[in-house]
A and B are shown apart, each in its own frame.
Chain A
Amino acid sequence: MAKVKLMDIAISRSGDKGDSSNVGVMAKTPELYEFLREKLTPEVVKDFFKEICKGKVVRYEIPNLRALNFILHDSLGGGGTETLITDAQGKVHGLAMLHMELEVPDKLLR
């Protein structure tokens, strides 16, 4: 096992819808996708974003794209048109997600 940042095994993109943001995570290989599908549960992601996301986290699977899509409800301080926070549209939530540290089996990293 090796401790790696999600940044080393995946890429991401985030956007906004109302007061929710979405974070899409794409694994670098099909094997890593299966690994992330197990590890990145909605509970894990909610806990990771607990100071940003005030609502629930919903997850969708897109295996053909090796991707998981997370909806972070109530995470933009009222939404793009209302809030005063700098990241009013969740633009950096995707990159924030990639700061997560994971213990990954060595064979998946080769």
Chain B
Amino acid sequence: MSDKKVLVANAQGFWGDSMLGPLRLVEEGPIDYLTFDYLAEVTMSIMQKQKARDPNLGYATDFVKLVGRIARKCKEKNIKIIANAGGVNLKACLAATKKVIADQKIAGVRIGIVEGDDILGRLPDLIASGEKFSNLDSGEGIEKVRDRLTSANVYIGAKSIADALAQGADIVVVGRCTDPTLAVAPLVHEFGWSMDDYDKLAAATVMGHILECGPQCTGGNFTNWREVPDLARIGYPIGEASADGSFVVTKHQGTGGLVSVETVTSQLLYELGDPKNYLGPDCIADFTTIQIAQEGPDRVKIQGIKGRPPTPTYKVSMAYENGYKILGTLCISGPDAVDKAHWIADAVFKRMEMHGAPIPPEMRFLELFGTNVLYKGIAPELKQPHEIMMRIGAKGPDRKKLDILGTEIAPFVTGGPPGVTGLAAGRARASEIVGYWPALIDKRKVKTSVTVEEV
């Protein structure tokens, strides 16, 4: 067995993560692959909204900025980049990435893309061919939202990304793929694993699951947070993979944070469903077979993972228009902050009636932050804390009507009870609600294509 190690790092765990992560990873120690994971369900919705406003948007713009800052160093050190930065607009992301590399005058960078995840245009044919696209959570039929769909993307697997790497890509950008796939693909490419070697694919999937949220496995969001040193310089995670499927979770020496069995297990539990059946596009991983042990300081070894063949379907993430929402905030000081908030809220909704735009009770929203709303029913409700943030809003089909509500919040600073402040964010505006519709598609009906070109 070869003793070759492949070092895969996660540089950003979501769209909005620190820009310092990737800048530090390329400087502070060895890595082979830098992965960027941007696509939470919420993020896809935001990108969808942005694309609707501007056809040149709808992807992770932070990625392009970062490529401009690290591409030269990555080329020097032969660090490959893999990112699901394409979001709902892969073409625009590719164009922007090419431009930023050209602007830097870095020669000989090969960029690969994987297309085929976007099936929105094919939906009529796919439905006609028998695909149901029923909602995975609710079981409802696609007819309910069919004429309101704005995007439909398949979570693609590792093979086509590995193919792009095999074709010499230095940077691979994809639209929708599962988060762990970003780690599976480079290992398939480097170790030449067969796509039916399910134990190995499952091991790589688990590695990807651990890495996918960046520092959330190196001491971030950790219960015993006081044990985590040097939060400012927290190390981003690195999976040090071996050909036999075992791997070590670690971080660069001298960085902050903590890699322990507890910090890594915490992340194994993140967004987990049935641990025996962790479904991915390329395999089913069994989390109950994971063997985990501390191998040294900030080094956690994982091995023994078993996998099974994947299901015959890919998951599809669809977005649909589902009306509008608005949310405004006011900060209210005591005494009697809670009573004042209820007075104001009642008055806001009365004024909506006076505007001829009444909000039905079931569409109203009021949350008094500071009364223990996060631990509702668990920590005792605080009856009259000395200051609260009132979060008031509504949902509905009519954007203009909701925007009126945005105009009737600020007036209570001068026209309400005393001690109301905190209007710095300005007048609230209604925004689209992007509904999320998870579904399945027969794998045989998804065709991906790989293109690699030199900039």
- A49 and B378 in contact, given A13-B269, A82-B322, A86-B369 (Cβ under 8 angstroms): yes
Judge if A4 is at the interface, Cβ distance under 8 Å: no
Asked if residues A24 and B433 are in contact (CB atoms below 8 Å), the reply is no
Nearest B residue (CB) for A28: B262
Q: Is the CB of B222 within 8 A of A11?
A: yes
User: Given that A52-B376, A80-B41 are contacting pairs, would A22 and B369 also be in contact in the complex, using a CB cutoff of 8 Å?
Assistant: no
Least CB distance, A95 to chain B, in whole angstroms: 7
Report, nearest first, the 6 A-B pairs whose CB atoms are least far apart.
A24-B269, A51-B377, A15-B271, A11-B223, A13-B266, A81-B45
| Min CB–CB distance A49 → chain B (angstroms) | 7
Chain B residues numbered 385-438 whose CB sits less than 8 Å from any CB in chain A = 391, 393, 395, 433-436, 438
User: In the complex, how many residues of chain A place their beta carbon closer than 8 angstroms to a beta carbon of chain B?
Assistant: 47
Taken residue by residue from 266 to 294, chain B's Cβ proximity to chain A (1 for < 8 Å, 0 otherwise) reads as 11111111111000000000011111100
**Bitwise interface map of A from 83 to 110 toward B, beta carbon under 8 Å scored 1, else 0:** 0111111011011101100000000000
A36 interface residue (CB < 8 Å to B): no
B223, A96: Cβ atoms under 8 Å? no
Would you call B287 and A65 a contact (CB within 8 A)?
yes
Q: Which of A7, A11, A25, A87 contacts B262 (CB 8 A)?
A: A11
Chain A nearest Cβ from B211, distance in angstroms: 15
Question: Is there contact, CB below 8 Å, between A99 and B375?
Answer: yes
* Cβ-closest chain B residue relative to A48: B378
Q: Are B45's CB and A71's CB within 8 A?
A: no
Judge whether B221 is part of the interface by a CB distance below 8 angstroms: yes
How many A-B pairs have beta carbons closer than 8 Å: the answer is 136
CA distance A8 to B409 in the complex (A): 43
Given contacts A82-B322, A82-B433, contact A22 B269 (CB under 8 A): yes
Nearest Cβ on chain A to B269's Cβ, whole angstroms: 2
* Count of B interface residues, CB-CB < 8 Å: 50
Q: Report Cα–Cα, A70/B438, bound state, in Å.
A: 21
Q: Which of B314-348 contact A (CB under 8 A)?
A: 319, 322, 325, 327
> Which residues of B have CB within 8 Å of A15?
270-272
- Determine which of B275, B291, B379 lies in contact with A60 in the assembled complex, contact meaning CB atoms within 8 Å: B275
Given A11-B223, A80-B41, A99-B378, A24 contacting B270 (CB threshold 8 A):
yes
Contact of B19 with A by CB under 8 A: no
Apart from A24-B272, A61-B275, A64-B291, what 15 extra A-B contacts exist at CB < 8 Å?
A11-B222, A12-B223, A18-B137, A20-B137, A22-B269, A24-B268, A49-B378, A62-B275, A63-B288, A69-B273, A79-B41, A82-B435, A84-B395, A85-B367, A96-B375
**Residues of A with C-beta under 8 A to B274:** 60
Complex CA distance for A84 and B365, rounded to whole angstroms: 7
A43 shortest CB reach to chain B, Å? 16
Residues on A with beta carbons closer than 8 Å to the beta carbon of B288: 61-64
One digit per residue, 1 when the CB lies within 8 angstroms of any chain B CB and 0 when it does not, for chain A 40-66 equals 000000001111100000001111111
Which chain B residue has the least Cβ–Cβ distance from A87? Answer: B374
B253 contacts A by Cβ under 8 Å: no
Q: How far is the CA of A98 from the CA of B288 in the complex (A)?
A: 23
Are B221 and A13 in contact, with the CB atoms below 8 A? yes
A62's contact among B262, B287, B391, by CB below 8 Å, is which?
B287
For residue A17, CB closer than 8 A to chain B, the reply is yes
Give the complex CA separation of A11 and B270 in angstroms: 12
Question: How many whole Å from B320's CB to the nearest CB in chain A?
Answer: 10
Identity of the chain B residue whose Cβ is nearest the Cβ of A12 in the assembled complex: B223
Q: Can you offer 22 A-B residue contacts whose CB atoms are under 8 A?
A: A11-B222, A12-B266, A18-B438, A22-B270, A22-B272, A24-B269, A51-B377, A51-B378, A62-B287, A65-B265, A65-B290, A69-B269, A81-B42, A82-B433, A82-B436, A86-B369, A86-B374, A86-B391, A91-B221, A96-B375, A96-B379, A98-B223
Assess the A17–B271 pair: CB atoms within 8 A: yes
The interface residues of chain B lying within 8 Å CB-to-CB of A67 are: 265, 268-269
Contact A96:B265 (CB < 8 A) given known A13-B270, A18-B436, A86-B367: no
Known: A22-B272, A79-B436. A84 touches B262 (CB 8 A): no
Closest to A67 in B: B269
When distances are taken between beta carbons in the complex, the residues of chain B under 8 Å from A60 are 272-276
- Report whether A95 and B223 are in contact in the complex, using a CB–CB cutoff of 8 Å: yes
Question: A7-B223, A84-B325 are known contacts. Are A64 and B273 too (CB-CB below 8 A)?
Answer: no
Contact B269 A92 (CB under 8 A): no
Q: How far apart sit A72 and B292, CA to CA, in the bound complex (Å)? A: 27
**Residues of chain A contacted by B262 (CB below 8 angstroms):** 11, 26
Q: How far is the CA of A69 from the CA of B271 in the complex (A)?
A: 10
- B373 lies within 8 A of chain A by Cβ: yes
A11: nearest chain-B partner, CB-CB: B223
Q: How far is the CA of A71 from the CA of B271 in the complex (A)?
A: 9
Query: A7 CA to B322 CA in the complex, in Å?
Result: 39
Q: Which residues of the other chain, A, contact B373 by a CB distance below 8 angstroms? A: 85-86
Cross-chain contact B375 with A92 (CB below 8 angstroms)? yes
B374 touches A11 (CB 8 A): no
Chain B residues with Cβ below 8 Å from A96 are 374-375, 378-379
CB contact between A84 and one of B40, B223, B367, B378 (< 8 Å): that residue: B367
